[in-house]
Structure 1
Amino acid sequence: MKKLVAAVGTLALLTAPLQTGFAAESEQKSEDYLVKFNGPAEQGLLEAFGVEDEDVLHAYELLPVYHINLSENQANGLENHPQVEFVEENAEAEALSQTEPWGVPHVQGNDAQEEGHTGEGVSVAVLDTGIDNTHEDLNVAGGYSVFDDAENSDPYYDANGHGTHVAGTVAALDNDLGVIGVAPETDVYAVKVLDNNGSGSYAGIAEGIEWAIQNDMDIINMSLGGSQSSDILEDYTDLAYDEGSLVVAAAGNDGNRGGNNETVGYPANYESAMAVAAVDENNDRATFSSTGDAVEIAAPGVDVLSTVPGDGYDSFSGTSMAAPHVAGVAAQVWQTKPELTNEELRSLLNDTALDLGPAHQYGHGLVQSLDAIQE
């Protein structure tokens, strides 16, 4: 709210006709008002309306505005006076606050944050459509693009919005703006392997994984996938895991209402990746969430509010939204237990997950941050 400022004239006394109804002013309820005159208040005007010196709470200096305690009759009378430009109630204001998306407390992210587990010092490579590094609610530590054309060569230009949304779920800042991520102090890196249309290739994903390995990324989040397997993509996913990274991947959105088919995509289907299924606020599997033996863990993936380019915020659904919840939890836990290997961290996340039902739909269950930290 902009601060009201005003030019002070002397609170003076002006001759003006006394209006009826002021005899019982002391019996009326008074409220705070802001009154702006057309010019400096002439002598006697406020007194004529029954305004006493103690009723004047403040006289502004740069505009002819006064903060005054008035009865309703006084306010109405002043509002109708030709020397008064306007009279308005003194409205309340409050600090703008950030929204906590439902998924953050659902995975105990807020509980972990309250105990100081914010992902500080842990790096997460977001292999996606890029990340808008100018977003007010994100702090992007670095990036790389596998593309060399002008439209897609900048990892910080995300015309699609998918990667920016994923990044916000991992690490939107704790700054009283917009939303907060699961691990707000994590170092997030924009690795653009999908173009501005949201399309890419296994070659590009492999190149992005290679960059993540070479740059010592702790966690690799891949909210992407395809239906076809690839030996090369599997080799790179395995290599990242062998080199010590935790690989988190969206299980896919090819599920159906029955939820009994083998529909997990790649790279999530590889043993070296954690395949993440999506659940709603009631811990029910999202009907779109892929199912199968490869499903390893579950996380919020329905109507997830997060960052989008241009300092915006929007709600998306998909296993793409579920995976970064797991990446964020992993960052919180790894900050607290840096001695763990990626294999030990993975086992811990699985062992402390909340059992939700059939493993081919939910894996080990809903990822839980604080339980893993306290185990």
Structure 2
Amino acid sequence: MNRTAMLPLCLLALWLTACGTAESAAPAAAPTAAPEPTPTETPAPPAEPAAPYSDLRYLPWLDEYAQQTYQPGEYTAEDLYTYTYNTGTIFAGAEDEAAALLEACKDPGLGVRSLQARGITGRGVNVAILDQQLLTDHPEFADRIAAYYDTGCEGETASMHGPAVASLLAGKTIGVAPDANIYYAAWPSWLMDSRYAADALDWVLEQNEALPEGEKIRVVSVSAAPGSADMFQNTDLWNAAAARAEEAGVLVLTVEGAGTKPDRLMPYPAVLDPNARDDPAACRVGFPSEDGSSVFAKNALALPCSYRTTAEEYTAGQFGYTHYGQGGLSWGIPYCAGVMALGWQVDPTLTGDEIMRYLLSTAATGTDGNSIIDPVQFIQTLQTERGA
């Protein structure tokens, strides 16, 4: 398996800390010799607990992620919510707490589940994802993949990124819009060549042309920056494809923003409050391991990325989950696309420009003064103002 394919390669994708390791002190000098001394062993120093926001996933093919079980003293129970770990990680003595946290963070937060309880689930809305390769049989989204296309992922079939973004958008127990249909195009982002992304987007547009009116693909979620010439080559091909998508009425959302106009919605990562997951006003922009960010432009919209659980599958049929104590904007893009899908279910007549304006106008104000996406207020406003 191509190891580079396991890592996010996009702007603000996953700024995760490295796996914490205990440092061993040098052995103490041997005791002063006496006649016929009895050898003694210097006891090993106690293990240092993993630092907050450490990556403790169990990935057996990577040497630096080779530890599966963490004993008391190698982790801090109070920091569990900050750790990135998966279903292969064992916290001895805190197994139940870790399992409960992983389950709790499947909740998208910000009141999304209250909307789902009312039947607002993205049903009937077609969306697309451009991301790394995906095994399509994970129970979270196996019945949500309408079509799958590979632009040339070098024979790779699995990644960390693919199942994560698919589950965050339309996962059965994780997703914002669990009943949306996904057209998924895989592209090898680690090659840093946007021609693959352009090919993937053109495939989406071909699928869209074949769909009847009323069933068109509404948004394309791209957890990368294929238009960034600082990161990718052949960005002109991507920009041309994005322009074709806009002409076809398909909204393209990347980490650089929505569509081709710079004054449109600009996404930023946000942190959910672990004690108030449903309250947008309790969120703040940035990453949990940092102090926060200043207020941004009026078209900025912060999206929850941290303290989330995603689907995981590296080997076909071996389904798992990962809890992310710290996630980047890669996780926010499918979240936003999912909220858009909820909006289009409520009012299918919305244009891409209109749905972005409503998202911005209904945003909550976070603890740092920035605008945080507010799915409940967004839907309520659509129902009130548009009679949806």
**In structure 2, do the counterparts of structure 1 residues 290 and 146 end up closer, same or farther at CA, with 3 Å as the change threshold?**
farther
Structure 1: state its 5+ residue gaps.
1-95, 174-178, 252-265
TM-superposed CA distance for 1:148, in Å, is 6.9
Tell me the equivalent position of 2:310.
306
TM-superposed CA distance for 1:200, in Å, is 4.2
TM-superposed CA distance for 1:239, in Å, is 2.4
TM-superposed CA distance for 1:130, in Å, is 2.4
Q: Establish whether residue 275 from structure 1 lines up as the match of residue 285 from structure 2.
A: no
Deviations 1:186-220 (A, max 9, x none): 1012210126xx44421111111111122122210
TM-superposed CA distance for 1:330, in Å, is 0.5
Tell me the equivalent position of 1:189.
183
Q: Establish whether residue 286 from structure 1 lines up as the match of residue 286 from structure 2.
A: yes
Tell me the equivalent position of 2:328.
318
TM-superposed CA distance for 1:180, in Å, is 2.5
Matches within 5 A, 1:70-85: none
Task: Tell me the TM-score normalised to structure 1 length.
Answer: 0.59
Deviations 1:328-375 (A, max 9, x none): 10011101110111111111111111133889xx5xx22222212221
Q: Establish whether residue 99 from structure 1 lines up as the match of residue 91 from structure 2.
A: no
Matches within 5 A, 1:111-260: 111-138=114-141, 139=143, 140-147=145-152, 149=154, 151-152=155-156, 157-158=157-158, 160-173=159-172, 179-194=173-188, 198-216=190-208, 217-225=217-225, 227-228=228-229, 230-251=235-256
Distance of 1:340 and 1:122 partners within structure 2? 12
Which SS does the other structure have where 2:306 is aligned? coil
Which SS does the other structure have where 2:115 is aligned? helix
Which amino acid in structure 2 is aligned with residue 314 of structure 1?
T
Deviations 1:68-114 (A, max 9, x none): xxxxxxxxxxxxxxxxxxxxxxxxxxxx9x935366122x3112111
Tell me the equivalent position of 1:373.
379
Distance of 1:346 and 1:321 partners within structure 2? 18
Q: Indicate if the aligned counterparts of 1:169 and 1:306 stay in contact, CA closer than 8 A.
A: yes
Q: Indicate if the aligned counterparts of 1:103 and 1:300 stay in contact, CA closer than 8 A.
A: no
Distance of 1:294 and 1:312 partners within structure 2? 39
CA RMSD in angstroms comes to 3.1
Tell me the equivalent position of 1:348.
358
Matches within 5 A, 1:9-48: none
Distance of 1:148 and 1:279 partners within structure 2? 31
Task: Tell me the TM-score normalised to structure 2 length.
Answer: 0.57
Tell me the equivalent position of 1:41.
none
- Could you say which structure has the larger radius of gyration? 1
Distance of 2:298 and 2:201 partners within structure 1? 20
- Could you tell me the percent identity over the aligned residues? 23
**In structure 2, do the counterparts of structure 1 residues 203 and 314 end up closer, same or farther at CA, with 3 Å as the change threshold?**
same
Distance of 1:211 and 1:357 partners within structure 2? 41
**In structure 2, do the counterparts of structure 1 residues 168 and 278 end up closer, same or farther at CA, with 3 Å as the change threshold?**
same
Distance of 1:347 and 1:301 partners within structure 2? 22
Q: Indicate if the aligned counterparts of 2:123 and 2:179 stay in contact, CA closer than 8 A.
A: yes
Task: Name the structure, 1 or 2, with higher relative contact order (CA <8 Å, separation 6+).
Answer: 2
TM-superposed CA distance for 1:294, in Å, is 9.5
Structure 2: state its 5+ residue gaps.
1-99, 209-216, 274-282, 382-388
Distance of 2:248 and 2:263 partners within structure 1? 11
Q: Indicate if the aligned counterparts of 1:247 and 1:272 stay in contact, CA closer than 8 A.
A: no
**In structure 2, do the counterparts of structure 1 residues 324 and 148 end up closer, same or farther at CA, with 3 Å as the change threshold?**
closer
Q: Establish whether residue 335 from structure 1 lines up as the match of residue 345 from structure 2.
A: yes
Distance of 1:294 and 1:199 partners within structure 2? 34
TM-superposed CA distance for 1:311, in Å, is 1.2
Q: Indicate if the aligned counterparts of 1:206 and 1:233 stay in contact, CA closer than 8 A.
A: yes
TM-superposed CA distance for 1:185, in Å, is 0.5
Which SS does the other structure have where 1:104 is aligned? coil
Q: How many residues align?
A: 248
Which SS does the other structure have where 1:348 is aligned? helix
Distance of 1:164 and 1:250 partners within structure 2? 18
TM-superposed CA distance for 1:290, in Å, is 9.8
Q: 2:113 aligns with which of 85, 110, 115?
A: 110
